[in-house]
Amino acid sequence: MSNETVQQIAVIGTGYVGLTTGTTLAHFGYQVACCDVDARKVGLLNDGVIPIVEHGLAELVAENRAAGRLSFHLGSDPAVRTADVIFLCVPTPQDDDGSADLTYVRAAAAEIGPMLKPGAVVVNKSTVPVGSFHVVGEALGRDDVDVASNPEFLREGSAVHDCLHPDRVVIGAENGRAADVVRSLYESLDTEFIITDPASAETIKYAANGFLAMKISFINSVAAMCEQVGADVAAVVAGIGSDHRIGDQFLNPGPGWGGSCFPKDSRALVSIARDHGYDFSLMRGVIDINEQQYDRIVNKIARAANRFEHDPLDGVVIGVLGLTFKAGTDDLRESPSLRILHSLRERGAEIRAYDPTASGELDPIQTDRLDGFTLCKSMADATEGADVLTILTEWPEFRDLDLAATAAAMRGTAVVDARNLLDPDAVKAAGLTYDGVGRS
Ligand code: NAD
């Protein structure tokens, strides 16, 4: 099968990865059917509503639907029956022991197996442990189809851009035909192709996320040290980031890493290594440091409210800017902000929070995750009556916080800027106190 003969593509799972992948493949000119088991999601998509916040996605979906290249379906039958290539983009959550749970991958593969046409290529885009290539093959139960691994590296918040301009495309396959078919789909991209064996492709994905998590844990440790020695982490980042061997990306100190990928993937990396007889102690340290970082921010906020480390926080009102795990997304999964806020609430604090994506109508999962917090409609609303104001997500608009109005609206005077977004001098000039991360 060459580029000319791949006509129909089915995408199984229409979440952050599946929806963006399916839409960009339609944009490349393919006929794409996106399938999901979530009737609410499929209904919204068919009504022209994009269920996630992702820059540029709504326009691209509308364009490709109008061109008749992109469609949304409840269930994979019959779309899979006529597809030349089928992408698996289903969740791989963390199991109780830290390993990746392959239940969804197995179920999706077992479901589509009997429907596949001979010669079809099944491409796994879900992040899966080394060896899962064979798990997919076994679950499909077919020896007349090919399987390939094509890990995804998109970042939520810039997912469309990342799919249109990837740093590289990684393809893992056991035979040249499967690799050629997958490569042909991305032919219009000006990018580097890394064609390798399935185990290496699967390892690349975990190693990439593990390395990025390591950079953040590293700089958070440096920031903690800066606070002790009276150095400024911003100057340190500028100083080390200008070294091309290090680079300045992913060196922003903050409340710790989170989101739908890093936490589960870093634990899975430790688990995969352990299963193969290697103690990945570096990665264990990276995870520990991240857990400590959540506690460090909780302690900063408690101290700002004049409470000792384990004191109850009854009667303390905390104004919060930012709930999502990063700016540019509505994703609350494993958000550091929520970890920190739940911990503060358990100690008795009242939480008044604003986030640009969580102030309107919430879906049931979001509602559950935000249970116990007062959700505010604006930054000003969140600061009203607060003893401490904290910034936990790096939404750019938070830089424009009206500091004079904030000082007037708050009951207390403390600002804990866990994203180093504000200018400390400007905060102090407004009559507030400032505590950032690693800022002397
Ligand atoms: P998601 O939860 O947003 O979406 C997964 C979708 O799959 C859901 O809509 C779910 O209803 C659907 N689904 C589950 N079982 C199905 C089935 N049998 N048939 C059809 N649909 C089914 O997940 P996501 O964030 O898109 O992640 C998917 C995979 O990609 C994961 O393995 C993840 O680790 C990986 N990944 C995610 C990102 C990211 O930034 N979100 C980046 C790279 C890789």
Give 284-296 as a DSSP string: HHHHHHHHHHHHH
Q: How far is CA 424 from the centre of its chain?
A: 29
Calculate the alpha carbon distances from 42 to 169, 415, 423 in Å: 28, 42, 44
Considering the candidates 89, 163, 261, 376, report the single residue annotated as catalytic: 261
Residue 196 sits at φ, ψ, to 5 deg, of -150, -170
pTM exceeds cut of 0.85: yes
- For residue 88, the CA-to-ligand 1 centroid distance in Å is 8
CA atoms within 13 A on the CB side of 98: 13
- For ligand 1, whether the C-beta of 427 sits within 6 Å is no
97, 95, 119, 96: which is closest to 105 by C-alpha? Answer: 95
- Predicted confidence at residue 98, as pLDDT, reads 87
Q: How far is CA 213 from the centre of its chain?
A: 12
Helix (H, G, I), strand (E, B) or coil at 408: helix
- For ligand 1, whether the C-beta of 42 sits within 6 Å is no
- For ligand 1, whether the C-beta of 208 sits within 6 Å is no
Helices 336-346 and 281-304: angle between axes, nearest 10 degrees? 50
- Predicted confidence at residue 1, as pLDDT, reads 56
The answer to whether the peptide bond before residue 118 is cis (omega within 30 degrees of 0) is: no
- Predicted confidence at residue 240, as pLDDT, reads 98
- Yes or no: say if 215 and 250 are a contact pair by the CB < 8 Å rule: yes
- Predicted confidence at residue 3, as pLDDT, reads 47
Residue 11 sits at φ, ψ, to 5 deg, of -115, 120
Is 261 marked active-site? yes
- For ligand 1, whether the C-beta of 223 sits within 6 Å is no
319, 288, 326, 324: which is closest to 301 by C-alpha? Answer: 319
**Number of Cβ within a 10 Å radius of residue 308:** 8
Atom of ligand 1 nearest to the CA of 17: 26
Q: Which residues contact 411 (CB under 8 A, 6 or more apart)?
A: 317, 385, 386, 387
- Predicted confidence at residue 4, as pLDDT, reads 44
Give the pLDDT means over successive 10-residue stretches in the chain (440 positions): 74 98 98 98 97 96 98 98 98 92 97 98 96 95 98 97 98 97 97 98 98 98 98 98 96 97 96 96 98 98 92 97 96 96 97 89 79 94 98 98 98 98 98 95
